Structure 1
Amino acid sequence: MHTVTLKQADKDLKGIIQRAIRDKDEVIIASDEGAVVVLDEVEWSNIKETLRLLSDKRSLAALLECHELRDRGERPEGISPEEAFKDV
């Protein structure tokens, strides 16, 4: 994470955007009124999808169950990627 002032951002917005995209890391633009975050659109989409999955109780339970299995050295039962995407 990198923080710049509003004055710095005003001088180099293009560079700030390029840095956020290149580094896949957020850039905070701070001002006297508060701060905003600039981040790569793909990263933002990933964050939104993660939040969506974590807010779904069934998805969260399945994720936690798989983590517990992994921590015990086991593998979850399921279907292969080939089976899951055979109609695609």
Structure 2
Amino acid sequence: MLWSIVGTLAAICTTIGYIPQIIRGIRTKNLNDVSPMMLTLLLVGCSLWLAYGIHLKDPIIALANGFTLSFVITILLLRAAYKKNNS
């Protein structure tokens, strides 16, 4: 029981950690300082973690990485859109 709580808290913290970056990017209309290589690695890593969570039928792993994946994709799309608009 204790480790489920620890895992859930860890998943929440690592997932919502992307929200401030998204908010800042929307406000400033600039995400050039976010590394595209880091985002690509996170995209691959979260996709694999999502598949792993689904395979294990572990909702904490699957949901956390599903949400994180959506946040990473959002940052990538915003970065591309703002870069195109600033060109």
TM-score by length of 1: 0.25
Q: Which has the larger radius of gyration?
A: 1
Bigger fraction of residues in helix: 2
Bigger fraction of residues in strand: 1
TM-score by length of 2: 0.25
Which structure is higher in RCO with an 8 Å CA cutoff and minimum separation 6?
A: 2
